[in-house]
Structure 1
Amino acid sequence: MPETPVSDATGVKKCQAKTKAKVRYLRRKKARRSARKAAAPKTKDAPGSESPQEDEEEDVSDAQSMQDEDKGKETQEEVVDSHRKKKRKLSGKDEIGHEEHSIPQTENSSIPVDSKLPSQGSLPSFPEPSAPNAPSKSVLAMQGIDRALVHAEIVDPAAVLPISPLGVDEQTKLSERTRKRLLELGITELFAVQTSLLPFLISQSSGASSLYPTYSSPRDACVSAPTGSGKTLAYVLPIIEVLSSRIITRLRALVVLPTRDLVTQVRETFKAIGKGRGLKIGTVTGQHSFSHEQSQLVGESSTPLKGGTSKMDILICTPGRLMDHLNGTPNFTLQHLRFLVIDEADRLLAQSFHDWLAQVLVACDPRRHWGDNLPVSSPWNDSTLVPTYDSVSPALLQAYLGCRTDVGEVKESSCQKLLFSATYTRDPGKLASLGLRDPKYFIVQDQSEGQPAGSLDLTSERFTMPANLMEHMIICEPSVKPLMLLHLIHNRSIRNALVFTKSSESTSRLVRLIEFFQEASTECERVVLRAYSSDLSASERRNILEKFKAQDIHILVCSDLISRGLDISHVSHVVSYDAPVDIRKYVHRVGRTARAGRTGEAWTLVEEQEARYFKGMLREYSHLERIKRLKVTQKDTESLRPSYQIALQQLKEAYAR
């Protein structure tokens, strides 16, 4: 018979719970009876019969068990109700007026589970996390940069200054003798970088008869100007002008260049400008034996001298050979330097050459000995050196004798550092390694749109190209790239040209292909071309350059060996057969033409798989708009293809041997 649902004081229905308890009770009762029947001895009574007393005791026991079980249920429900009240009290809500919710319970668990989370009204609310605002481009550009670069002097590339042969020139500070020499060489005006730099360098000497500034050490200078803008003449003129007043020969100007060919070119410029001044100009590049170069640099003396000896006023060198003499030539010293010129500075600073820059700076420091890195406070600390004070530089002599100025400081060196490049670096680490002293920056470039006059845009790096340069590019498949070069040579009549490749091997292979083509072709005009790379000896390269300057050679196929600094006036075309992978290499390549106000054209052959990267590189530096694309169709090269196929087959057979 089903039981009627009964509610307790809390209103929780217990019908289901009591029904289960009764089922368990009946099951246990039946099990006990079966056990007693099996264990009881057989009597005369009917089998399975029980005594009335035993039945009564069992009923009492079972009723007590059911009562205890019901009591446990009520106790558990009271615990649940008490737990609910505590939760409401902790959440700050009044018990009255809130609906109670039933709590599901497991069969053997006395811990209640509340289906409703406590209220969050009393907890503090926090804003959602968000990313900070990104810094502006101008702020990022200023991170770690030299503060002097912000105040750089921006020079208009179109600025020129005519040279007056007579009188006093207050603008350039050049003497009348120097101006007459320039006019004799056919130089009638100074370019932008020269008009700005010459007054700055020459005016820092207190007088025409003074080699070193009297009251303060000179400021260093960093110059960034496009190729062909006259950077070499910008440091040759002030060096000649200042050193012309010297009486005793000392090494006072050191010019460091990356290649031997540049050393030869700069030496010719120094000799042409300094003719009749009595200045002794020398070079060390490793072309001659080490002992021969030593005899040209220093005088014959078996005794090491602290002042050193020198046969040169101006030394032009490569960094590797300079280190050899600095560490291995007795009495060779840099303590008298007035000018330290680092041309093509971005390339030289990127190459270590046994840490040449740090050693040169130590050798120029008046507080350090030329042969080691330890400060020298007395001339007697090395008994093997003779302290010939008449040959020691003034600043170094003061350090040797332990003298001090009125403010107790050692006099600094008078060596003035001059850095030049068409692609000057802004790397803070490299600039810091130079130890520049109150540097002044000169930057020759066009003013960008929207930029205040005379201010430098630091958010993006820009390179100024020659004003009269026309730039083109041809996008083609790799298999027909040699054919595109032949099209430029024979269909567009390119002569007096430099063709740049990516390696010495590519240079020689391309020259052989063009020679095979000209042998196979009877209609095309024959051109004279030669390979120019580091595989050739110095004398061979010199002879090839002389013939090219005399226009006996029409086209010079070369690696990047001469892409920096080399000045050949009649070059009218530059072809990048292998597209450059860096904007600086592109700038230096195309800068071999359109120099000193002349016109020129630059061509770049770009393979189809390289086009996206090449365009992106130019677009990053806002230069893509200046380059015009030339489309060469199959019809344009139809007449060249038969001879081209023959040349390819001959080249293949030549390299298969």
Structure 2
Amino acid sequence: MAVTELVPNGAEDGSKEKTKAKKRYLKAKKERRKKRKSTTSAPTAAKSRDVTADVDVGSSASSEKDNVEEVVVEVTPPVKEKKAKKEKKRDADGERPRKRRKVQEGDAVNEAPVEIPSSPVASPSRHSSPEPDAANVAATVDDTMDLDALNTPAPEESALPSFPQPTQPAAPSRIELASQGLDTALAQARIIDPTLTSAISLESQDDSSGLSLKTRTRLKELGITELFAVQTTLLPLLLPLDPLKRSLYLPYDPPSDICVSAPTGSGKTLAYVLPIVETLSARVVTRLRALIVLPTRDLVAQVRETLEEVGKGRGLKIGTATGQHSFAHEQSQLIADKSPGLLGGSSKVDILICTPGRLIDHLNGTSNFSLQHLRYLVIDEADRLLAQSFQDWLVRVLAATRPPPEPTTASSPVETDGLPYPDALAPAHTHLLPTISTDIDEPKASSCQKLLFSATLMSDPAKLRALDLRDPQYVILQSAGAGAEASGGVLDVVMEKFSMPSTLSEHMLVCDAARKPLMLFWLVLQHDVRGALVFTKSAESTARLVRLFEFFEAARAVGGKPLVARAYSSDLGAAERKATLEAFKNREIDLLVASDLISRGIDIAHVAHVVSYDVPVDMRKYVHRVGRTARAGRKGDAWTLVEEQEARYFKEMLRGAGRTEAVARVRVSDKQLEPFTGFYTDALQKLREAYAREKAD
């Protein structure tokens, strides 16, 4: 018996309608694609009449793989009639009203009714619902929509705020870094032209320099007819016209401290010797009133010689303390009264010239050695001395010049007859005596005036602050051209752009390390270098170079007079160094080969050439080396032998100091060295043999 399957009439009709709807949909889809192609080919003709909308269409058939279909609706009057017919048909069939959605085309926003066709494989519960035809998929344009609204731009969607890309801040310039922490007084320093001079006149009783007629007469006898720039500037500051300000003690109005930065050979020594001699000549009782601290013994001897020459006939007593003599001998030369308990101290000298190490020894171990009466504290070559931390000498010296805050329990000794012993204290130290204090007593300060001199005055604010300067005044000797730069003369000094004498000519020779001695011999003979200082990096290299030069001259000057070269280094004793230096001053020595021991302060008038056989380690050493020539307005040449591997470093050093263009490069060919090559080879062989014999012994 056959089983008849009953199918509802509505379901059968629905499947037929769905098949027809699918055909209509596919037909409409083809038409839409054709319209899209025609719209793309002629955009200008349909720009004001076409509206494009994207419609999401769900498809289950193999041909309906696109999830989104773009529907092109042509807005024409027939569309309105078709829309009215479709609405009537929808009302007759009882269909629900279609949903409206927003469709965007470019910047236009329209509302269009959209209906998504059902999938062919739908759930059974939806088979009974009528299938939408293909025409219903098209977007409907509202009759009341204004077509001008299609061209109205839509508001842009809100986006995240835009931030600039992070950038690295620009590094501060060297000028800005140098000006940070700069002392206000240093920023207001006096810039002095090195060409400034003033003549010494004997006609008037009173001179603008502040020097007495007796001092000016003595300068004339020494052959000094004019004062250099640093002397012309400092003498009015150190020797004011008011006689009260020249007093030995100024407890209520202490003088200002002065710092001077000037090139070597500019006359700094005479700039502080003249005020010391002029002021201390009025003293009655011998007290230690001037202390001059220097870095080397040779410089101590030179400054003492200057003081003795200028102060001749003034009765001033000058002493030295360098460690060259025994400690007991120096004590006997410095202290007059060794009685215990003297609050004011005792002294046999008015002026003491010393090195810092020996000064500390006397502060620690010499009784009655006192600095309370100091009127002048001179620190020459200040940059080098302040870099030395030996026993904290600077702190100890400054503390010795200041009065202690509390009185001590010591009392002055008394004679056997009961009378008080004559003990003299400086005005700032009188509170140590058992006196009665009152409310009107004014505080008293030390009368010591600190004077700092250097060709390379340091710019470290911490070191300047350690000096405990009182109302300091800074004087910088610099040419007008350098001072006229945008950075200013003060910052040039802070940034170590040192000033050189205008009469100095600088040269550099780049060569191979193996041929550097040969280059030196060529330079000496070719440029007629006589009375020259040759600087090396160590005492050992000094001795080796002198021996090589002697062998070279013995081979070259056969039958003639060879050039004389001598070593001057710390390996020599004090007496031998003094004899060598005197022979060089008397022009008995042609070349003085020295280490950096002599590169500071030594003044030898006839030095016309300075040769740096070894490149200086920094710009400060270079300045002090070349400063041995072109002194006091005389002409001079500075030569630097640079090995090939050192050329870049040396040029960078010069560039940092602003001296690149000032140093001329001298090129020497092999042909120029050829006449001396044979002598140099023989000298090297003899030097090897000499060292071999010494090693065998």
Aligned partners of 2:244 and 2:231: how far apart in 1?
A: 20
- What's the secondary structure of 1:431's corresponding residue? helix
Offset, 1:390: 4.2
Match 2:407 to one of 363, 375, 378: 378
Distance apart, 1:520 and its partner CA: 2.2
Matched, 1:597 2:633: yes
Pick aligned residue for 2:449 from 416, 425, 428: 416
2:215–2:278 contact (8 Å) kept in structure 1: yes
CA spacing shift, 1:206–1:132, aligned 2, 3 Å? farther
Which amino acid is 1:413 matched to? S
CA distance in 2: counterparts of 1:324 and 1:300, whole angstroms: 18
Deviates further, 583-592 or 463-472: 463-472
Cα pair 1:239 1:339 within 8 Å, conserved: yes
Q: Is the 8 A contact 1:395 1:413 kept in 2?
A: yes
Contact 1:182/1:273, CA 8 A, preserved across alignment: yes
- 5 Å-filtered alignment, 1:56-95, equals none
1:554 corresponds in structure 2 to 590
CA distance in 1, matches of 2:670, 2:439: 81
Q: What secondary structure sits across from 1:181 in the alignment?
A: helix
SS at match of 1:296: helix
SS at 2:510 equivalent: strand
Q: In the alignment, is the contact (CA less than 8 A) between 2:262 and 2:268 conserved in 1?
A: yes
CA distance in 1, matches of 2:57, 2:669: 97
Give distance in 2, aligned partners of 1:454 and 1:202. 32
1:311-366: CA deviations, max 9, x gaps?
Answer: 01000000000000010000001010000000000000111111000000000012
Which residue in the other structure is 2:389 paired with?
Answer: 352
Structure 1 residue runs without a partner (length 5+): 5-9, 17-95, 100-118, 369-374
Q: Deviations over 1:131-161 (max 9, x none)?
A: 4454455432221111101111111100111
| Aligned residue pairs, count | 550
CA distance in 2, matches of 1:629, 1:611: 11
Q: Which portions of structure 1, spanning 4 or more consecutive aligned residues, are displaced by more than 3 angstroms?
A: 10-16, 96-99, 119-139, 204-209, 382-390, 398-409, 452-455, 522-525
1:573 counterpart residue number: 609
Q: Which has the higher contact order (CA 8 A, sep 6+)?
A: 1
C-alpha displacement of 1:462: 1.9
Counterpart residue number, 1:541: 577
**Bigger Cα displacement from structure 2, 439-448 vs 177-186:** 439-448
Pick the aligned partner of 1:158 from 191, 195, 206.
195
Could you tell me which residue of structure 2 aligns to residue 520 of structure 1? 555
CA contact (8 A) 2:383 2:456 kept: yes
Distance in 2 between the 1:131 and 1:98 partners?
56
Which whole-Å CA distance do the structure 2 matches of 1:384 and 1:436 have between them? 32
Output the amino acid matched with 1:633.
S
SS in 1 for 2:272: helix
Structure of larger gyration radius = 2
Is the partner of 1:498 in helix, strand or coil?
Answer: strand
Quote the offset at 1:121 in angstroms: 3.3
Is 2:511 the counterpart of 1:482? no
1:394 equivalenced with 2:430 (yes/no): no
Matched, 1:428 2:428: no
Instruction: Tell me the SS of whatever aligns to 2:672.
Output: coil
User: Would the aligned equivalents of 1:256 and 1:341 in 2 still touch at CA under 8 Å?
Assistant: yes
Aligned residue among 305, 314, 330 for 1:268: 305
2:236 maps to a residue whose letter is P
* CA deviation vs aligned residue, 1:286-323 (integer Å, no higher than 9, x gap): 00000000000102424231111000100000000000
Which residue of 255, 266, 269 corresponds with 1:232?
A: 269
Q: Is structure 2 residue 677 aligned with structure 1 residue 641? A: yes
Provide the residue aligned with 2:234 in structure 1. Answer: 197
Q: Which residue of 1 aligns with 2:214?
A: 177
Deviations 1:522-552 (A, max 9, x none): 4574011110000111011001111111111
Per the TM alignment, residue 15 of structure 1 is displaced from its structure 2 partner at its CA by 11
1:288 aligned to which of 318, 325, 333? 325
Letter in 2 for 1:482: P
Per-residue CA deviations over 1:198-247 (Å, capped at 9, x if unaligned) read: 00011186448722337511000000111111000000000100111001
Identity %: 59
Q: In the aligned structure 2, how far is the partner of 1:134 from the partner of 1:267?
A: 50
1:599 is displaced (CA, Å) by 1.3
- Alpha-carbon distance, 1:654 to partner: 2.1
Q: Which amino acid aligns with 1:426?
A: S
| Mapped contact 1:511–1:557 kept (Cα < 8 A) | yes
Q: Do residues 495 (structure 1) and 525 (structure 2) align? A: no
Equivalent position of 1:607 in the other structure: 643
2:609 maps to a residue whose letter is H
Instruction: For 2:572 and 2:510, locate their aligned partners in 1 and report how far apart those are by CA, in whole Å.
Output: 32
TM-score (norm 1): 0.78
For 2:506, the equivalent position in structure 1 comes to: 471
8 A Cα contact 1:153 1:454, kept in partner? no
Q: TM-score, normalised by structure 2?
A: 0.73
Structure 1 residues 136 and 631: CA distance shift in structure 2, 3 A = closer
Determine helix, strand or coil for the equivalent of 1:471: strand
Distance in 1 of aligned mates of 2:483 and 2:267: 28
Deviation track 1:45-78 (CA, whole Å, cap 9, x = no partner) reads xxxxxxxxxxxxxxxxxxxxxxxxxxxxxxxxxx
Counterparts in 2 of 1:530 and 1:278: CA distance versus 1, 3 Å: same
Find the aligned partners of 1:557 and 1:272 in 2 and give their Cα distance. Answer: 29
For the 8 Å contact 1:447–1:453, the answer to whether it is kept is: no
CA 452–623 in structure 1, closer or farther in 2 if over 3 Å, else same: closer
* Displacement of 1:521: 2.4
List gaps (5 residues or longer) in structure 2.
1-17, 19-55, 63-110, 115-155, 415-419
In the other structure, the counterpart of 2:293 is 256
Mapped partners of 2:358, 2:556: distance in 1 = 47
Aligned equivalent of 1:31:
none
Structure 2 counterpart SS, 1:602: strand
Amino acid at match of 2:513: P
What is the rounded CA distance, in whole Å, between the counterparts of 2:500 and 2:446 in structure 1?
36
- Aligned residue number for residue 77 of structure 1: none
Residues 404 and 567 (structure 1), Cα distance of their counterparts in 2 relative to 1, 3 Å cut: farther
Asked if 2 retains the 8 angstrom alpha-carbon contact of 1:334 and 1:364, the reply is yes
SS at match of 1:178: helix
SS of 1:395 mapped into structure 2: helix
Whether the 8 Å CA contact 1:507–1:531 is kept in 2: the answer is yes
1:301 aligns with 2:330: no
* 1:580 Cα offset (Å): 1.0
Q: Aligned residue for 1:210?
A: 247
Q: Which residue of 2 aligns with 1:50?
A: none
Distance in 1 (alpha carbons) for counterparts of 2:412 and 2:632? 52
- The letter of the residue matching 1:622 is G
1:555-598 alpha-carbon deviations (Å, 9 max, x no partner):
11000000000001111111110011211111111111111111
